[in-house]
Amino acid sequence: MVEERPLPRTLVAQKIMMESARKTLMDDETWIMGMYDMGGVGKTALLAQIYDKLYEERQIFDLVIWVDVSRDVHIEKIQEDIAEKLAIYTHFLKEKEILVIIGRRVEESGYNRDRIVFTTRSREICGHMGVYDPMEVQYLAENDAWELFQRKVGQKTLLSHPDISMLARKIAKKCHGLPLALNVIGETMSCKTSVYEWKHAIDRIFKNGRVYSPCSLLYSYDILKGEHVKSCFQYCVLFPEDHKIRKEELIEYWICEGFVDGKDGRERALNQGYEILGTLLRAGLLLEDAKTKSYVKMHDVVREMAILEITRRDVLYKVELSYANMSLMRTNIKMISGNPDCPQLTTLLLKTNYKLENISGEFFMSMPMLVVLDLSMNYRLEELPEEISELVSLQFLDLSYTSIDRLSVGIQKLKKLLHLNMESMWRLESIYGISNLSSLRLLKLRNSTVLVDNSLIEELQLLEYLETLTLTIPSSLGLKKLFSAHKLVKCIQKVSIKNLEEKTFKILSFPVMDNLNSLAIWKCDMLEIKIEKSPSWNKSPTSSCFSNLSYIWIRECSGLRDLTWLLFAPNLIDLTVGSINELEDIISKEKADQAREEQGNIIPFQKLESLSLIDLPTLKSIYWSPLPFPSLKRIKVQKCRKLRRLPFDSKSGVVGEDLVINYGEEEWIERVKWEDEATRLRFLSSSYKTHKEMTKLSSSAGTCGIKDF
């Protein structure tokens, strides 16, 4: 079992280092291996390549664990991260060979079996860890550096003017073989087709001095267009090193801070925010999470550069009396008291303080300009002081993953509040008074224990400016009322429905939900899911009931025989279906033909990237004929013994990429009936078996899928 990580194309020198590292790792005398460089040279990228190589040769190690470690992390945190992942695989681990891979920095540790690989910036740390002959990750040779820089810039740009190639070589040479600088500056220059832009870049870069110092990356920062874009980038420094930041959450912060204009509605503001994120990603100043695409983070060297620039320009992000933004994430704070005088403070991030239990009322008394307050992931925090009402400018409040049980009177007085997140609050009993938040535009309640009944739905309808709503419907109580509340239906972005009984809902009929992005249905007994046809539904080939629905998770819903309604979710990206004993078809041919008579020809799953089918004992068909699946990257099939045919031909899948088929039983893949020999050869090479213990764990995952869905 291996956690997947992306493998970039490797250069000659990197391949040599990777083979050397692999040889050391396979030595029977080796139990721990260390790699070091000065930062930005590529030790983590090399580690990822080793990781991926071990996946290809997974007979060597049964389990490979990757742990990210930031500079200021404690040994207990490393142990917790490893233990958390090992706990998932408890049954699988008996007498297995394990490899633990630790990314980023690590302090002294100890481990007495199997193998550990770690990276650090300090050779001295390698010695403390018992590695006396560590591998130094070297700078790229000039030829390799030039090859990497060409890849990032692109041949179209390099050939756009006869002099650009020569100027590009000068810049690449100035990077002194540092992959981070080559990547960041190469990305920045990829759209520069004027020779004058290249000459100007050389002037700026040479003026800044040595590119491998953090300050020298300033060129990519300096040419960002607009102070608001630079402010958005600087804001990311508030997050700890290696912290993955959810894109949408980051944009919400930017909106409240005024970096992104939110006056014309949330949708337009999000679009502008994603445009800025794209700019920062293309400039190499932020990194996108390769697995989910929903998160970004800063490279540690880029973060150091940003801090130096912020300090130089006197934009203080420190705990001082005149600061504008403060981050106190991941501390050991148990109680917050005192009355700090913070007249200019606009953002306060107090999230992920696992020991925090109490905040005194006087703490909020002198923060009149505060617009963002994030208290999420403070599991022990049970109440907020009524003095929170003193935050008269507050627009963003995140209380998710806390133990608060009700909406306090103090919160109800926050008349400028636009964004309130109360998701995953397992003790939340009441949000009575929510309608007093007259400016509220976004309300998140999904996976919280508050009862969504008729009275709450009536109060939610009083929120005049509400645009976005997420919630969980824990029973049939309130569902009919919700679906008949047309104003709220238009606002629902994410919804989890669970514990419906067949006697109440033989057929679950959905209204048109244009804003719906994610849907989870769990433990609902019903015979069918249908779409409620309304007069406003335009019956044309281009219309759909779920135009934004991207993620669907359906599990333990006895009685369902097909999911043909998925035809009306043309933008579906991720589909997970599991533990439904009666399900025979994903798309029923008979029902699809009826739908085509009304809607015209519909080709399903055009944007689907991931499909998981788990424990479906009667499933016979996904679709009756081959589909193009132009976006599909992976399909998982486990415990679906009657599924004998996959709707693929030799042209299905992403052009030029492998479509990974992960299966649970060897006999299943052997009995698959392929469309033809070309199809069999196309997909069999990218098919692999999941260990049977992992199949068990996957099938009994319970509610964990809903929590993070």
Q: Across the chain, what does the average pLDDT equal?
A: 82
Q: State the angle between helix axes of 266-282 and 247-257 in degrees (0 to 180), rounded to the nearest 10.
A: 110
Residue 237 DSSP symbol: G
Check pLDDT > 70 for residue 693. no
- How far apart CA 330 and CA 338 sit, in angstroms, is 20
Check pLDDT > 80 for residue 1. no
Q: In the prediction, which pLDDT does 58 show?
A: 52
- In this structure, whether the domain defined by 12-136 belongs to CATH 3.40.50.300 is answered with yes
- How far apart CA 187 and CA 286 sit, in angstroms, is 11
Check pLDDT > 80 for residue 167. yes
> What type of residue sits at position 324?
A
Give the confidence band of 541 by pLDDT, cuts at 50, 70, 90. Answer: very low
Check pLDDT > 60 for residue 102. no
Show the tokens assigned to 529.
Answer: 């899911």
Q: 608 and 631 in contact (C-beta within 8 Å)?
A: yes
CB atoms within 10 A of CB 563: 23
User: For the domain 227-312, what is the CATH code?
Assistant: 1.10.10.10
Q: ∠ CA 460-461-467 to the nearest 5 degrees?
A: 85
Q: 573 and 552 in contact (C-beta within 8 Å)?
A: no
What average pLDDT does range 536-564 have in this prediction? 81
Decide: pTM greater than 0.95.
Answer: no
Q: In the prediction, which pLDDT does 649 show?
A: 93
**Greater confidence, 587 or 313?**
587
575, β-bridge pairs: 552, 611
- How far apart CA 448 and CA 619 sit, in angstroms, is 33
What average pLDDT does range 559-565 have in this prediction? 94
Q: In the prediction, which pLDDT does 96 show?
A: 44
Q: In the prediction, which pLDDT does 110 show?
A: 45
Check pLDDT > 80 for residue 518. yes
Q: 183-209 pLDDT, tens per residue? A: 888 888 888 999 988 988 888 777 655
**Greater confidence, 289 or 604?**
604
Q: 487-496 pLDDT, tens per residue? A: 999 999 999 9
Q: 454-477 pLDDT, tens per residue? A: 999 999 999 999 999 999 998 777
User: Where is mean pLDDT largest: 213-222, 232-241, 611-620?
Assistant: 611-620
Listed by start position, the domains of the chain span 12-136, 142-222, 227-312
Check pLDDT > 80 for residue 89. no
Show the tokens assigned to 428.
Answer: 């939340």
Q: ∠ CA 252-258-264 to the nearest 5 degrees?
A: 75
Q: 309-366 pLDDT, tens per residue? A: 777 665 444 444 456 899 999 888 999 999 999 999 999 999 999 999 999 999 999 9
Q: 26 and 117 in contact (C-beta within 8 Å)?
A: no
What average pLDDT does range 669-686 have in this prediction? 92
Q: Using the structure block, give the residue that is written with the tokens 């404690």.
A: 74
Q: In the prediction, which pLDDT does 321 show?
A: 40
Q: 633-661 pLDDT, tens per residue? A: 999 999 999 999 999 999 999 877 888 89
The fraction of the chain above a pLDDT of 90, given in percent, is 49
Check pLDDT > 90 for residue 381. yes
- How far apart CA 243 and CA 296 sit, in angstroms, is 8
Q: In the prediction, which pLDDT does 602 show?
A: 87
Lowest mean pLDDT among 94-103, 143-152, 381-390, 580-589: 94-103
Per CATH, 12-136 and 227-312 having the same topology is answered no
User: Where is mean pLDDT largest: 28-37, 87-96, 381-390?
Assistant: 381-390
Q: In the prediction, which pLDDT does 30 show?
A: 72
The fraction of the chain above a pLDDT of 70, given in percent, is 79
Q: 413-453 pLDDT, tens per residue? A: 999 999 999 999 999 999 999 999 999 999 999 999 999 99
- How far apart CA 382 and CA 558 sit, in angstroms, is 38
- How far apart CA 200 and CA 48 sit, in angstroms, is 35
Show the tokens assigned to 404.
Answer: 């608060």
Give the confidence band of 108 by pLDDT, cuts at 50, 70, 90. Answer: very low
